[in-house]
């Protein structure tokens, strides 16, 4: 029996065994495990017929090749400010140099309403969208995003497949994670003297720590979790509590205690500006935006890590994108090991690949060591929880209605 025949038989046997495992899982109602197995199977390298047992080559023009899209334009939608700046330096410029294409960078404030309107109208102008993972899950469920084949994502430098290199939930059927970021509270250290706020509960204590508060207006996500944690709900009980009417009522009641003192923000750059202009003394914010103001603008801001909410930020591809091949190539390039490590040099967000973490060094803008400023650094994440994107995908619609009605009161 020849070597090629032996390899083919071995590969076929492996697939039969794995298929049997998958069938067992499906028969036992393990839908989520089955989906993960399906993604792992898609990414699993099969033996090459030439006898080479390494990772198979990607299709011609795949993300690791010298793909040329010279003269074409890709629309990439993101959050603006220091965050988009970090993407331009780490992803956009090197990808443009590699492919000859140009990126048209557009800012937005999150959510899926604009994407949905484009897809339903059959006039899709966006290609790649940077999204919070809960929004990406909803968009995927509603058919607003293209499926992404995890097998086309480049492996880690040591050959580890992408599905094993990303953080948990880092690859979903329609999205690939780029960063781990933190929703935190920050304050202006010049406003509170020798007894500054130290906990998330202090954010809601207007008597001890007077002044306006900044909160994100566009979604109940984060606001409800913050309210419950500040009200004493343990991190591991937050979503159990929010799954009850009494729990939701409790969160809104806590928010009522500061509602008249809130200055609302929508875009990610606004909390920094609100603090800088003195419009608020404390605000919720993305940790990387506050770090950028601290390290690069020398602002007297302090992050309160207590009660941090960790979230995954992902790339999705708009359903009906006019530049699907380019979009896939960009997503694969932007989420490889080196590019994710490069972004962490520009802003304090954690890379989503394990292989990227050892490559994170000092800031590209100054001499600051970036690793201790990552939101998932052990000392920062000691009391953190990860936002449950699956829970929000199931409850976002109803809570959006409750949130908008509460805002209108």
- Backbone φ/ψ region at 233: left (φ over 0), alpha (ψ -120 to 50), beta: beta
Q: What is the pLDDT of residues 336-375, one digit of tens each?
A: 999 999 999 999 999 999 999 889 999 998 889 998 899 9
| Residue 56 and residue 7 in contact, taking contact as beta carbons nearer than 8 Å | no
| Residue 176 and residue 278 in contact, taking contact as beta carbons nearer than 8 Å | no
Q: Which residue has the higher pLDDT, 306 or 58?
A: 306
Q: What is the pLDDT of residues 165-207, one digit of tens each?
A: 999 899 999 999 999 999 999 999 999 989 999 999 999 999 9
What is the DSSP pairing of strand 171-172 with strand 175-188?
Answer: antiparallel
Average pLDDT over residues 115-125: 97
Instruction: Count, in order, helices (H) and strands (E) of the chain.
Output: 16, 11
| Whether the predicted pLDDT of 23 surpasses 70 | no
66 — pLDDT class (breaks 50, 70, 90) = low
Q: What's the pLDDT score for residue 56?
A: 33
Element (DSSP H or E) covering residue 272: helix 270-276
Sequence-ordered list of residues with C-beta below 8 angstroms from that of 27, at least 6 positions apart, any chain? none
- Mean of per-residue pLDDT scores for the chain: 86
Q: CA 196, CA 190: separation in Å to the nearest integer?
A: 9
End-to-end Cα distance, the chain? 78
C-alpha separations of 108 from 80, 112, 191, 194, 397 in Å = 7, 10, 31, 39, 20
| Whether the predicted pLDDT of 131 surpasses 70 | yes
| Whether the predicted pLDDT of 104 surpasses 80 | yes
Q: CA 68, CA 100: separation in Å to the nearest integer?
A: 6
| Whether the predicted pLDDT of 51 surpasses 70 | no
Average pLDDT over residues 104-122: 96
pTM for this entry: 0.74
Alpha helices (H) along 57-172 = 81-87, 93-99, 113-121, 133-141, 162-165
CATH number for the domain running over 181-311+384-408: 3.40.190.10
Q: CA 76, CA 57: separation in Å to the nearest integer?
A: 27
Average pLDDT over residues 79-91: 94
Q: What are phi and psi of 123, to 5 degrees?
A: -135, 80
Average pLDDT over residues 390-402: 93
Q: What's the pLDDT score for residue 21?
A: 37
377 — pLDDT class (breaks 50, 70, 90) = confident
| Whether the predicted pLDDT of 376 surpasses 50 | yes
Q: Which residue has the higher pLDDT, 326 or 24?
A: 326
At 18 the three-state DSSP class reads: helix
Q: What's the pLDDT score for residue 357?
A: 87
| Whether the predicted pLDDT of 16 surpasses 60 | no
| Residue 145 and residue 318 in contact, taking contact as beta carbons nearer than 8 Å | yes
142 — pLDDT class (breaks 50, 70, 90) = very high
At 36 the three-state DSSP class reads: helix
Q: Domain 73-180+312-373 maps to which CATH number in 2.30.140.10, 3.30.428.10, 3.40.190.10, 3.20.20.20?
A: 3.40.190.10
Cα–Cα nearest to 224, from 263, 256, 198, 195:
256
Residue with tokens 């449950």: 388
Q: CA 196, CA 386: separation in Å to the nearest integer?
A: 26
Q: CA 223, CA 100: separation in Å to the nearest integer?
A: 42
Determine which of 41-50, 118-127, 219-228, 345-354 has the lowest per-residue pLDDT on average. Answer: 41-50
Neighbours of 158 (CB within 10 A): 8
114 — pLDDT class (breaks 50, 70, 90) = very high
Listing DSSP states for 341-353 in one string gives HHHTTTSS-EESB
At 26 the three-state DSSP class reads: helix
| Whether the predicted pLDDT of 110 surpasses 80 | yes
Average pLDDT over residues 85-91: 97
Q: What is the pLDDT of residues 233-266, one digit of tens each?
A: 999 999 999 999 999 999 999 999 999 999 999 9
Domain boundaries, the chain: 3-38, 73-180+312-373, 181-311+384-408
- Could you check whether 73-180+312-373 and 181-311+384-408 share the same CATH topology? yes
Q: What percent of the chain has pLDDT above 70?
A: 84
């Amino acid at each position: 029996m020849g070597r090629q025949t032996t390899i083919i038989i071995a590969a076929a046997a492996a697939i039969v065994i794995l298929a049997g495992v998958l069938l067992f899982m499906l028969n036992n109602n393990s839908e989520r495990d089955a989906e993960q197995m399906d993604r792992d199977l898609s990414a699993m390298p099969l033996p090459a017929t030439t006898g080479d047992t390494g990772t198979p080559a990607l299709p011609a023009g795949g993300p690791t090749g010298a793909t040329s899209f010279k003269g074409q334009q890709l629309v990439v939608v993101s959050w603006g400010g220091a965050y988009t700046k970090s993407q331009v330096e780490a992803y956009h410029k090197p990808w443009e140099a590699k492919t000859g294409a140009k990126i048209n960078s557009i800012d937005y404030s999150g959510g899926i309403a604009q994407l949905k309107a484009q897809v339903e109208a059959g006039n899709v102008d966006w290609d790649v969208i940077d999204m919070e993972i809960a929004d990406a899950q909803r968009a995927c469920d509603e058919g607003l995003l293209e499926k992404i084949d995890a097998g086309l994502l480049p492996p880690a430098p040591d050959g580890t497949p992408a599905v094993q290199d990303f953080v948990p939930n880092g690859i979903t059927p329609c999205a690939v994670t780029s960063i781990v970021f933190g929703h935190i509270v920050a304050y202006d250290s010049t406003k509170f003297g020798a007894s500054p706020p130290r906990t998330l509960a202090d954010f809601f204590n207007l008597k001890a720590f007077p002044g306006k508060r900044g909160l994100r207006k566009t979604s109940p996500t984060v606001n409800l979790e913050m309210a419950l944690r500040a009200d004493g709900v343990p991190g591991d009980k937050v979503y159990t509590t929010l799954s009850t009417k009494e729990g939701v009522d409790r969160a809104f009641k806590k928010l009522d205690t500061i509602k008249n003192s809130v200055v609302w923000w929508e875009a990610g750059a606004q909390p920094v500006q609100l603090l800088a202009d003195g419009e608020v003394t404390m605000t919720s914010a993305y940790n990387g935006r506050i770090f950028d103001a601290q390290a690069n603008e020398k602002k007297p801001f302090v992050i309160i890590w207590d009660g941090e909410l960790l979230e995954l930020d992902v790339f999705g591809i708009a359903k009906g994108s006019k530049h699907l091949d380019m979009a896939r190539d960009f997503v694969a390039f932007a989420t490889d090991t080196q590019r994710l490590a490069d972004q962490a040099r520009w802003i304090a967000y954690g890379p989503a690949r394990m292989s990227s973490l050892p490559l994170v060094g000092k800031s590209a803008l100054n001499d600051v060591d970036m690793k201790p400023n990552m939101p998932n650094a052990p000392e920062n994440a000691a009391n953190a929880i990860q936002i449950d994107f699956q829970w929000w995908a199931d409850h976002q619609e109803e809570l959006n209605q409750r949130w908008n009605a509460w805002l209108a009161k």
